């Protein structure tokens, strides 16, 4: 290697104009930030091993960008590489990477486009591009990479497996790179697509498990005070809707219903015109007000399923707060600017569809509302990652979620480490089938608006209500049923925004004990009341048990009344409403059970 900078041996470029930057401790704008212990540890490991490929997994908010850019500065300073290419998931993140790189003394061009060919500017050390951009012209990006000794930084590398064609393009473009640094905060995918440049170890069952070179998980980061503890505020409630067959359905969030009933109850809860989301938004804003007493610029984020819902949620928040709300839509040209403006300001709320679900750094976000129907571990982890970035020790994040079994499990398992598992070898036909399925899913998303119009006559939300159900923290549950705006709910919404993790648990336990005492006191008062209402009988929670219990009661009633079982079921449906037993929800079965119990009483 010569002392010149081969990264700039491009048309119209003079290498002498751009010497390697100063050692990374002296960045372009003063002293570089002090590295965290895990970053120093990971860099030391990398330099000792000097690998071509290195996968670093660090929880969102831990500082993956700082780690990668400091390592890039070292590799440029010791002439291991001279050109830096960053591949990011979104256009917004290209600019974010370029800004961070400038502070580390590395000049990246975030505006490089495929139409620019092999020239990206005399004064840049490299480029920031998106995975989609590379997939469109992989050969061009390979030639760009081969023009110099290149370090490729693959941000959120799991995106390289979004489709078979994308994975092939990334391998084509960067297969010849001198060094590849892969980064992720979620080292797993929801499908079985292989991630480019990730190593897999064979397992005894024929599957393959991804190998991470350095891992810094949420649990360790939380213990180090680098990320915030997350408290999940869980809300349940009764939902009513009409199916395509004209049947009126009723179900409560959190009941042991079928996947189809759970999905439609969840959809009803998120309906912008319903009471469930309206009450949850008000509760979240009250929580934000409490947090802002200790953190004046704390902000909130609502993650919505689609554009129509996002716009409605933003309108409701404007009515609640009397303030403007930052609305971020994925196809909006001004989205990046609005995210930057919100991040730098002190306004209360931002509502987004998917654009801020991954990688976007808005450290002041402290309260979230998970108002989307996505339940994949990957998306959930990315979404929660928006709230864990800590600016000072003691900040607490609060995320409001519906009581949906899939989300409850993900919330309870937040600290678990996950690796990417691939099933056994697939044939080429099976791999292309997998890509076809992914492409079909993408087309379905593109047709979202027409599908929603089509669904209007198939499904109709009829009504919803909300109540506080419990708080989940560190895998444990605290509290119980509480009406919205009751003392019990306000207890859980009103704890401080600055707490150590052990203080969070202690305070939640205290609130739970207070709620139990209040409940006991009320029960005591009821016992001495002259006309006490009879307490409802405990009911089984699962569909299977409900159906067996109903069948048993129908049999008992048939013996007493002499009516056929079929006629009894028909009468129960007429009086209580709802579909046949096989399609009925837990709530609807409970109504029929209670009716039969009343009729069977002497």
Rounded to whole angstroms, the Cα distance separating 384 from 231 reads: 11
Domains belonging to the chain, first-starting first, are 6-222 (3.40.50.300), 228-415+459-522 (3.40.50.300), 543-600 (no CATH)
By the 8 A CB rule, do 466 and 483 touch? Answer: no
What's the token pair of residue 16? Answer: 């002498």
What's the token pair of residue 363? Answer: 């450290």
Which pLDDT score, from 0 to 100, does residue 188 have?
54
State the virtual CA torsion across 64, 66, 68, 72 in degrees, nearest 10.
180
Q: Which residues of the chain have pLDDT under 50?
A: 1-30, 189-190, 417-457, 526, 528-540
Count of alpha carbons within 13 angstroms of residue 420, beta-carbon side = 27
Rounded to whole angstroms, the Cα distance separating 101 from 359 reads: 15
Which pLDDT score, from 0 to 100, does residue 173 have?
97
What's the token pair of residue 353? Answer: 């569809």
Rounded to whole angstroms, the Cα distance separating 353 from 327 reads: 9
Angle at which helices 405-412 and 377-384 cross, to 10°: 60
**DSSP helix/strand/coil, 55:** strand
Which pLDDT score, from 0 to 100, does residue 419 have?
47
Which pLDDT score, from 0 to 100, does residue 147 have?
95
Which pLDDT score, from 0 to 100, does residue 583 have?
87
CB burial string 311-335: b at 16+ within 10 A, e below: bbbbebbeebbeeebbbbbeeeeeb
What's the token pair of residue 305? Answer: 């399923």
């Amino acid at each position: 290697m010569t002392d010149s900078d081969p990264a700039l041996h491009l048309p119209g470029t003079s290498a002498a104009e751009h010497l390697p930057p100063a050692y990374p401790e002296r960045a372009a704008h003063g002293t570089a930030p002090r590295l965290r212990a895990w970053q120093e540890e990971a860099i030391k490991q990398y330099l000792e091993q000097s690998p071509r490929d290195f996968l670093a997994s660090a929880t969102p908010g831990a500082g993956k960008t700082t780690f990668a850019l400091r390592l890039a500065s070292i590799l440029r300073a010791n002439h291991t590489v001279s050109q830096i290419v960053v591949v990011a998931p979104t256009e917004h993140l290209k600019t974010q990477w370029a800004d961070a790189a400038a502070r580390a003394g590395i000049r990246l061009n975030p505006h490089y486009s495929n139409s620019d060919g092999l020239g990206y500017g005399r004064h840049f050390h490299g480029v920031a591009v998106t995975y989609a951009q590379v997939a469109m012209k992989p050969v061009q990006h390979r030639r760009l990479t081969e023009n110099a000794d290149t370090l490729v930084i693959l941000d959120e590398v799991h995106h390289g497996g979004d489709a078979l064609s994308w994975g092939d393009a990334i391998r084509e473009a960067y297969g010849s790179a001198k060094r590849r640094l892969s980064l992720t905060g979620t080292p797993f995918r929801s499908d079985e697509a292989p991630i480019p440049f990730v190593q897999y170890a064979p397992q005894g069952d024929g599957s393959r498990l991804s190998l991470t070179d350095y891992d810094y998980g949420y649990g360790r980061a939380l213990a180090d005070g680098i990320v915030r503890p997350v408290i999940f505020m869980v809300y349940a409630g009764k939902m009513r809707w009409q199916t395509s067959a004209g049947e009126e359905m009723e179900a409560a969030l959190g009941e042991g219903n079928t996947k189809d009933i759970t999905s439609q109850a969840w959809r009803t809860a998120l309906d912008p015109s319903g009471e469930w989301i309206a009450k949850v938004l008000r509760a979240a804003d009250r929580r934000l007000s409490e947090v802002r007493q200790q953190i004046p610029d704390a902000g909130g984020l609502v993650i919505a399923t689609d554009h129509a819902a996002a716009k409605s949620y933003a309108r409701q928040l404007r009515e609640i707060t009397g303030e403007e709300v930052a609305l971020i839509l994925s196809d909006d040209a001004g989205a990046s600017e609005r995210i930057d403006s919100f991040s730098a300001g002190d306004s209360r709320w931002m509502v987004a569809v998917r654009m801020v679900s991954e990688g976007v750094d808005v450290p002041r976000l402290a309260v979230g509302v998970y108002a989307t129907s996505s339940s994949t571990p990957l998306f959930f982890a990315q979404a929660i990652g928006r709230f864990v970035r800590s600016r000072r020790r003691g900040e607490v994040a609060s995320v409001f979620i519906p009581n949906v079994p899939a989300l409850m499990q993900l919330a309870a398992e937040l600290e678990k480490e996950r690796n990417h598992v691939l099933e056994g070898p697939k044939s080429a036909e099976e791999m292309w089938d997998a890509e076809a399925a992914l492409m079909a899913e993408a087309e379905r998303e593109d047709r979202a608006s027409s599908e929603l119009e089509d669904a209007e006559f198939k499904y109709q939300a009829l009504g919803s209500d909300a109540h506080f159900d419990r708080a989940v923290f560190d895998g444990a549950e605290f509290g119980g049923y509480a009406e919205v705006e009751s003392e019990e709910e306000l207890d859980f919404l009103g704890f401080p925004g600055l707490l150590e993790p052990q203080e969070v648990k202690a305070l939640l336990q205290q609130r739970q004990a207070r709620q139990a005492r209040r409940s006991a006191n009320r029960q005591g008062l009821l016992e001495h009341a002259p006309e006490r209402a009879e307490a409802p009988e405990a009911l089984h929670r699962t569909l299977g048990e409900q159906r067996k219990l109903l069948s048993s009661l129908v049999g008992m009633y048939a013996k007493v009344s002499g009516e056929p079982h079929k006629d009894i079921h028909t009468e129960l449906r007429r009086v209580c409403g709802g579909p046949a037993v096989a399609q009925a929800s837990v709530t609807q079965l409970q109504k029929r059970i209670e009716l039969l119990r009343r009729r069977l009483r002497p």
